[in-house]
Structure 1
Amino acid sequence: MRYKGLPLNKAKKAIILIHGRGATAESILSLSSYLNLTDYAIIAPQANGNSWYPFGFMASDEGNKVALESSLGLIEQAFSEILKAGIQADQIMLMGFSQGACLSLEFAARNAQKLGGVVAFTGGLIGEKLNLGNYSGDFQHTPIFIGSSNRDFHVPAKRINESAELLQGMGAEVTVKLFDDPDHTIRAEEINWVNQKFFI
């Protein structure tokens, strides 16, 4: 785990930042300088080998299963550490890019409850097909943002929309923003929107 922002014992809010494939906890922590996180404790888990799971997020479930379960366990560890510090679940946010965005959504949906919010920069729920049996709980109007290109090479817009529909069915308030460019990136427009909606 890497840490930034306020110490957990001094903060009332926390955010878990989850990096993408080939990146690091340190690299995703740099995103925090573009966000209004002055009153947050910031935690960034580090994936083993810089990858949360070996294959694409829509590949065969068996191929990703072992690594995915381990990665979800690491996010659970970060989440539990925050709760033990006395920060309530509805003051905890999850945010990730690419693989990290997928993992953010997957962890949230498998443990649906009232959260501070979930931000997925280019991601969707994980699986060859969406398995409703993997998900349980009630988001109780948790705000969720998913932003991406409408023709991203790694994350099809169809899966993003399917994910949004499933999350809405679990009580989340989901905003999807799809952009016309083909870039696999985090856009300034997304950062601005997230700052205005989550970090006023």
Structure 2
Amino acid sequence: MTRINKVGRVEALSGKATSAVIFLHGYGADGDDLLGLAEPLAPHLPNTLFLSPDAPETCVTNPFGRQWFPIPWLDGSAPEEAAAGLARSSEDLNAFLDQVMTSEALAASQIALVGFSQGTMMSLQVAPRRAQALAGVVGFSGRLLRADALAAETVTQPPMLLLHGDVDQIVPFGDLKQASDALRAAGFDVRTHVMRGTGHGISPDGLGQALAFLRAHLPA
């Protein structure tokens, strides 16, 4: 069972989905924040269903937004609360992915995660620990949490593309290298892309890189 109950949806343009992209939004946003990315991606991925769930918790600092877990330096929560929130939302996301596989008749290898900021953190937490490898993970402007536990807890190794703006003032640019180094050390195939002159956001060149990655790793 999952606490995820509101999900934005854009159907496959072909009318028959053979793959799915699941967007995971950042702290204080909601599923609508990323669902608009389906518009430029869909013509190039005509057999792909796009889903964008709301995170399961109301954001502590923005009651109109959602969060996957609290962030102590933003909302004054304790580190223990953040860790517990991460664990609980990981369970929610895993249950949601299982639901999608069942309801849409898709295998794990037909599903990719595209995260932004806290959504990237969730993607990097959940994807390696799933029993069946996902098609891939695209992570914008995030970081790898619990890096010290990654190698011991890795079950599957989906390919990954990590992208980060080099003038990001919210999640430091250096987190890109820290995440990619740790993932590669644990045996993951990781590509990185620097979005030059970009802050905490998604640049056109970054979106183009994401599209190329998704086309390469999702079934036609």
Contact 1:19-1:99 within 8 A present in 2 as well:
yes
Q: Do structure 1's residue 14 and structure 2's residue 17 form an aligned pair?
A: no
Amino acid in the other structure paired with 1:43: L
How far the C-alpha of 1:99 sits from its partner, in A, is 0.9
Q: Match for residue 94 of structure 1? A: 113
Match of 2:202 among 172, 186, 194: 186
Amino acid in the other structure paired with 2:92: L
Q: Do structure 1's residue 82 and structure 2's residue 100 form an aligned pair?
A: yes
Matches within 5 A, 1:160-175: 160-175=176-191
Match of 2:80 among 62, 69, 76: 62
RMSD over equivalenced CA pairs, Å: 2.7
What is the DSSP-based 3-state SS (H/G/I as helix, E as strand, rest coil) of the residue aligned with 1:138? coil
Spell out, residue by residue over 1:100-154, the C-alpha distance to the aligned partner (whole angstroms, 9 max, x if none).
1111111112327432110001112124x63336732131xx3211111234223
Runs of at least 5 residues in structure 1 that lack an aligned partner in the other structure: none
Contact 1:138-1:170 within 8 A present in 2 as well:
no
Higher radius of gyration, 1 or 2 = 2
Q: Match for residue 108 of structure 1? A: 127
Matches within 5 A, 1:115-126: 115-126=134-145
Runs of at least 5 residues in structure 2 that lack an aligned partner in the other structure: 1-6, 59-65
CA shift in 2, pair 1:27/1:182, >3 Å: closer
Contact 2:161-2:213 within 8 A present in 1 as well:
no
Contact 2:23-2:35 within 8 A present in 1 as well:
yes
Q: Match for residue 161 of structure 2? A: 145
TM-score in terms of structure 2 length: 0.77
Q: Match for residue 155 of structure 1? A: 171
4+ residue runs of structure 1 moved beyond 4 angstroms? none
Q: How many residues align structurally? A: 195
CA shift in 2, pair 1:82/1:171, >3 Å: farther
Q: Do structure 1's residue 23 and structure 2's residue 29 form an aligned pair?
A: yes
User: How many angstroms apart in 2 are the aligned matches of 1:175 and 1:133?
Assistant: 18
What is the DSSP-based 3-state SS (H/G/I as helix, E as strand, rest coil) of the residue aligned with 1:126? coil
Q: Match for residue 198 of structure 1? A: 214
User: How many angstroms apart in 1 are the aligned matches of 2:188 and 2:149?
Assistant: 18
TM-score in terms of structure 1 length: 0.84
User: How many angstroms apart in 2 are the aligned matches of 1:164 and 1:113?
Assistant: 21
Contact 1:43-1:78 within 8 A present in 2 as well:
no
User: How many angstroms apart in 2 are the aligned matches of 1:56 and 1:170?
Assistant: 28
Contact 2:90-2:126 within 8 A present in 1 as well:
yes
What is the DSSP-based 3-state SS (H/G/I as helix, E as strand, rest coil) of the residue aligned with 2:169? coil
CA shift in 2, pair 1:27/1:158, >3 Å: closer
